[in-house]
């Protein structure tokens, strides 16, 4: 199977490596040559600005780049005649977001569903793992909001694992919200990390819970989480 990945970043690159290990033909886009050292991509496209016919001639096209202004207009210029299926990586932020980024993703999700091709929309929660943890950036900060809001997080390995599941099981015409079982409050989760890492503790402003819990029951029909909980673990 030929898989094209637009965006060989934090999720895209390990996904590409996993697919290549499984014997798939992998094409991808990235701006960083450094990322591709010793990685046998079938083809390297170093800029996603003008995707060639090679990236859009595939069995599966994975769209996995952060949203930016006019991105949807850019996608609409692509010739998808030779694409068999689109997997669009969105975000759980679209579920309760009024921001510009959420609006862009919502519009792009609608476009994917109506483009005339088999599709799947995957919405990961906040990403953790392989040294990435939001607690690093909150350490020592004060006046933080949303301390009593529940976290909706997912380990990077589970994002890759679930995308592989979607490809292997040929799931189509489905939206999936991808989060772990864990919904501690932000204050509990990030304070625990800072305490274990011997970092300055974050200080949250007292306020009521204004967050929401994202359900992961749908993904469990198809996939078993590797990291159902992450509190207290080294990631």
Give the domain extent around 36: 2-124
pLDDT tens track for 49-107: 555 557 888 999 999 988 888 889 988 988 899 999 999 999 998 988 667 788 889 99
Number of separate domains in the chain: 1
Residue 92 lies in a domain: yes
Full-model pTM: 0.90
3-state DSSP assignment of residue 120: strand
Q: What is the rounded distance in angstroms from the CA atom of residue 146 to the CA atom of residue 56?
A: 41
Residue 207 lies in a domain: no
Residue 203 lies in a domain: no
Residue 201 DSSP label: P
Residue 26 lies in a domain: yes
Residue 113 DSSP label: H
Residue 132 DSSP label: B
Residue 146 lies in a domain: no
Residue 29 lies in a domain: yes
∠ CA 167-172-178, rounded to 5°: 70
Q: Output the domain CATH number for residue 27.
A: 3.40.50.720
pLDDT tens track for 25-62: 888 887 666 665 655 554 445 444 555 557 888 999 99
Residue 187 lies in a domain: no
């Amino acid at each position: 199977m030929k898989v094209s990945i637009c965006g060989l970043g934090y999720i895209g690159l390990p996904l590409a490596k996993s697919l290549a290990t499984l014997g798939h033909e992998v094409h991808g886009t990235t701006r960083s040559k450094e990322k591709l050292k010793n990685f046998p991509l079938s083809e390297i496209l170093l800029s996603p600005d003008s995707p060639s016919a090679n990236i859009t001639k595939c069995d599966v096209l994975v769209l996995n780049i952060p949203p930016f202004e006019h991105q949807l207009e850019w996608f609409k210029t692509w010739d998808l005649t030779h694409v068999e299926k689109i997997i669009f990586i969105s975000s759980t932020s679209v579920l309760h977001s009024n921001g510009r980024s959420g609006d862009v993703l919502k519009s792009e999700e609608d476009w994917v569903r109506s483009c005339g091709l088999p599709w799947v929309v995957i919405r990961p929660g906040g990403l953790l793992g392989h040294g990435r943890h939001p607690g690093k950036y909150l350490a020592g900060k004060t006046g933080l909001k949303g301390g009593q809001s529940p976290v909706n997080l997912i380990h990077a390995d589970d994002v890759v694992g679930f995308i592989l599941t979607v490809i292997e099981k040929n799931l189509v015409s489905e939206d999936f919200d991808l989060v772990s079982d864990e919904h501690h409050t932000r204050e509990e989760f990030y304070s625990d990390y800072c305490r274990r890492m011997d970092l300055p503790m974050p200080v949250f402003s007292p306020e009521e819970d204004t967050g929401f819990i994202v359900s992961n029951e749908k993904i469990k029909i198809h996939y078993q989480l590797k990291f159902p909980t992450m509190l207290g673990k080294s990631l």
